[in-house]
């Protein structure tokens, strides 16, 4: 029976999968005195969740039956000594430390700084570090260290800030990319969604709100359009050349953080990645040089200029690829503009509501910690320095790695012209023979129309054989001396106009038997000319006025 009862009690004991350390120093007593219902509910939730509970003050780490009912607050906040003791005693993987974050030891050693060194030591004891900031009602004493090193205390009643360190031991696996333990503690303690709370994952740094966006006034380039968060690039007119486009990227930091200027631009890399397709089998990767710029559109943002070179299709294709490509009216290639940012925590500083509502810092901030001012007591002393102190330089998970992709479509409209060019290259000998034949035909055609010979009846002197050369006007006067015409050969037709009179037609075809009428003034009978084509007749001698005799005198 006794063994069975012992087994039942052992089974009923919760497994110590998490621990809570409650700061029991004198500066915490005001929270227990005020008995803020939200403060009590937070401790009760931790009581239910974590079977292993401790109180610490000075170098003492004491077991606690209950966090919510503890009332013995006195002594110093020796948080570094308490952490060392916990690391020796506890086997739990997860830990929550509840403290007002004031290093009020009465020694010259800085316990808060030693605590930071424990968290940031290499190899790391913890690979997930979170911070929850809360405000609760307070009624007690607040402390500071005076210029002579002595402790100063004042009475304060009102809202006061409290910090929960949410830690998880190093698992030996790869650097984590999430912090579910922090999210769970924030939810069960009422911090999630509360306007009087801030939840921050220090390691790993979760880049909530980090964004790369393209401003409307960016550089772009000829044939480059950006809409619906994607690029459309028209390669028309760039045959045989490299096409470039320029862009200005704005990188917005995570919520409540600000980018520093030093060294961050070198952590930005951009690549244009083109996917393989049915014609260009292999994909392509082109790095885009990144240049930092002094243009800073919003406080804390980073802005860089990039310049991407895009290999134009025809500069790299084989003959077979060109023929295959040209059988389409349009060729498109898809790709991505990939922006990668790797920023260490040193590049980031608290900003926004985190800095404005929760940080108390300045040259005299430590000396004024004992002032009963809600603007001081409702904040965390040197919050930005505190967050930086939790991270070892170069520690895994202490920075942010972000990759953002913008779809890219490269388009080339060619409408079959490259196919024609490729076909001509493949049939050079046939085209050479065809070109020679066309050249001979052109010469013969030119010779045929360059000299046209007609018999013209009605002109002065009766019927005459007249030669009309290309584009050379010939004047012919009628036998009645009442009409004169000007005839010009245009190759395919004869152009006719009357000198001071109207004709019944302006153009004469090259066929024969054409009668031309010239109308004079006063309704007189029109003068008529008849044109008869003479084939194969060439004249060696010309009469004045362009007419040549039909026979010689003997």
Owning domain of residue 289: 210-344+403-413
Q: Do 446 and 463 reside in the same domain of the chain?
A: no
Q: Tell me what pLDDT residue 217 has.
A: 66
Q: Do 142 and 97 reside in the same domain of the chain?
A: yes
Percent of the chain past pLDDT 70, that is, above it, reads 72
Q: Do 194 and 264 reside in the same domain of the chain?
A: no
| Residue 23's pLDDT band (cuts 50, 70, 90) | very high
Residue 12 inside a domain? The answer is: no
Can you list the positions of beta strands (E) in 204-264? 211-213, 224-227, 230-234, 242-252, 257-259
Residue 553 inside a domain? The answer is: no
Name beta bridge partners: 402: 341
Distance CA 35, CA 136 (A): 9
Q: Which pTM does this prediction carry?
A: 0.62
DSSP state at residue 544: G
Q: Do 429 and 513 reside in the same domain of the chain?
A: no
Residue in 152, 76, 147 with CA at minimum distance from that of residue 107: 76
- Name which residue leads in pLDDT, 90 or 300: 90
Distance CA 247, CA 266 (A): 17
Q: Which of 42-46, 424-428, 440-444, 513-517 has the highest mean pLDDT?
A: 42-46
Q: Do 471 and 488 reside in the same domain of the chain?
A: yes
| Residue 455's pLDDT band (cuts 50, 70, 90) | confident
Name beta bridge partners: 136: 160
**For residue 101, with 0-12 CB atoms within 10 Å meaning exposed, 13-18 middle and 19 or more buried, which class applies?**
buried
pLDDT digits (tens, 9 = 90+) for 119-165: 777 667 888 889 999 999 999 999 887 777 788 889 999 999 999 99
Mean pLDDT on 224-234: 83
pLDDT digits (tens, 9 = 90+) for 397-412: 556 777 888 898 877 6
Q: Do 258 and 132 reside in the same domain of the chain?
A: no
Distance CA 113, CA 56 (A): 17
Residues 200, 240: contact at Cβ < 8 Å? no
Q: Do 229 and 183 reside in the same domain of the chain?
A: no
Mean pLDDT on 314-338: 69
Cis peptide before 123 (omega within 30 of 0): yes
Q: Tell me what pLDDT residue 373 has.
A: 95
The torsion of the CA quartet 489, 495, 501, 502, rounded to 10 degrees, works out to 160
Q: Do 380 and 441 reside in the same domain of the chain?
A: no
Residue 550 inside a domain? The answer is: no
Residue 509 inside a domain? The answer is: yes
Q: Tell me what pLDDT residue 515 has.
A: 80
Residue 367 inside a domain? The answer is: no
Residue 398 inside a domain? The answer is: no
- Sheet strands side by side (includes 242-252): 211-213, 242-252, 302-311, 290-292
Residue 81 inside a domain? The answer is: yes
Distance CA 484, CA 493 (A): 19
Name beta bridge partners: 274: 284, 335
The torsion of the CA quartet 389, 392, 393, 398, rounded to 10 degrees, works out to -90
Residue 311 inside a domain? The answer is: yes
Q: Do 62 and 105 reside in the same domain of the chain?
A: yes
Percent of the chain past pLDDT 90, that is, above it, reads 18
**How high is the mean pLDDT of the chain?**
77
pLDDT digits (tens, 9 = 90+) for 250-299: 888 877 778 765 556 668 888 888 888 766 666 778 888 888 887 666 77
- Name which residue leads in pLDDT, 315 or 460: 460
**For residue 474, with 0-12 CB atoms within 10 Å meaning exposed, 13-18 middle and 19 or more buried, which class applies?**
buried
Q: Do 60 and 141 reside in the same domain of the chain?
A: yes
Q: Which helix (H) or strand (E) holds 464?
A: strand 462-469
Q: Tell me what pLDDT residue 553 has.
A: 36
Q: Do 128 and 43 reside in the same domain of the chain?
A: yes
| Residue 8's pLDDT band (cuts 50, 70, 90) | very low
Q: Do 107 and 193 reside in the same domain of the chain?
A: yes
Could you give the number of structural domains in the chain? Answer: 4
| Residue 548's pLDDT band (cuts 50, 70, 90) | very low
């Amino acid at each position: 029976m006794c063994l069975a009862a012992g087994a039942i009690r052992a089974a009923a004991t919760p497994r110590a999968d998490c621990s809570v350390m409650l700061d029991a120093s004198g500066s915490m007593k005001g929270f227990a005195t005020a008995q803020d219902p939200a403060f009590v509910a937070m401790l009760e939730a931790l009581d239910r969740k974590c079977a292993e509970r401790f109180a610490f003050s000075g170098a003492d780490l004491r077991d606690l039956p209950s966090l919510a009912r503890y009332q013995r607050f006195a002594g110093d906040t020796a948080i570094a000594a308490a952490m060392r003791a916990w690391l020796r005693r506890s086997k739990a993987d997860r830990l929550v430390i509840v403290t007002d974050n004031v290093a009020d030891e009465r020694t010259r050693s800085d316990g808060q700084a030693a605590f930071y060194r424990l968290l940031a030591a290499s190899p790391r004891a913890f690979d997930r570090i979170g911070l929850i900031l809360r405000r609760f009602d307070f009624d007690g004493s607040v402390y500071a260290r005076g210029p002579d090193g002595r402790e100063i205390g004042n009475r304060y009643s009102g809202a006061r800030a409290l910090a929960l360190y949410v830690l998880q031991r190093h698992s030996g696996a790869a650097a984590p990319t999430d912090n579910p333990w922090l999210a769970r503690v924030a939810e069960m303690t009422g911090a999630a969604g509360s306007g009087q709370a801030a939840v921050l994952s220090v390691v790993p740094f979760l880049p909530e709100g980090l964004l790369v966006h393209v401003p409307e006034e960016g550089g772009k380039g000829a044939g480059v359009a950006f809409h619906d968060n994607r690029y459309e690039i028209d390669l028309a007119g760039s045959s045989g050349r490299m096409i470039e486009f320029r862009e200005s990227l704005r990188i917005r930091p995570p919520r409540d953080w600000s980018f520093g200027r030093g060294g961050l631009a070198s952590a930005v890399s951009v690549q244009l990645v083109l996917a393989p397709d049915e014609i260009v089998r292999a994909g392509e990767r082109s790095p885009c040089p990144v240049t930092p710029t002094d243009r800073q559109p919003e406080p804390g943002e980073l802005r860089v200029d990039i310049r991407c070179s895009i290999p134009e299709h025809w500069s790299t294709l084989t003959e077979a690829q060109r023929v295959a490509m040209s059988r389409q009216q349009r060729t498109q290639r898809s790709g991505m503009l990939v922006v990668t940012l790797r920023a260490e925590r040193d590049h980031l500083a608290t900003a926004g509501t985190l800095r404005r509502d929760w940080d108390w810092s300045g040259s005299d901030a430590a000396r004024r910690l004992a002032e009963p001012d809600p603007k001081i007591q409702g904040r965390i002393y040197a919050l930005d320095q505190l967050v930086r102190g939790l991270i070892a330089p170069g520690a895994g998970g202490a920075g942010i790695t972000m990759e953002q992709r913008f779809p890219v479509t490269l388009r080339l409209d060619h409408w079959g012209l490259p196919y024609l060019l490729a076909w001509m290259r493949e049939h050079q000998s046939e085209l050479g023979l065809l070109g020679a034949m066309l050249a001979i035909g052109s010469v013969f055609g030119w010779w045929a129309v360059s000299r046209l010979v007609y018999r013209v009846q009605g002109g002065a002197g009766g019927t005459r054989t007249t030669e009309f050369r290309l584009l050379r006007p010939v004047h012919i006067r009628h036998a009645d001396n009442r009409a004169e015409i000007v005839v010009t050969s245009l190759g395919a037709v004869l152009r006719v106009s009357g000198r001071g009179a109207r004709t019944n037609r302006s153009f004469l075809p090259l066929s024969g038997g054409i009668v031309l009428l010239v109308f004079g003034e006063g309704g007189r009978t029109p003068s008529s000319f008849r044109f008869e084509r003479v084939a194969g007749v060439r004249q060696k001698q010309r009469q004045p006025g362009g007419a040549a005799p039909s026979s010689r005198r003997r």
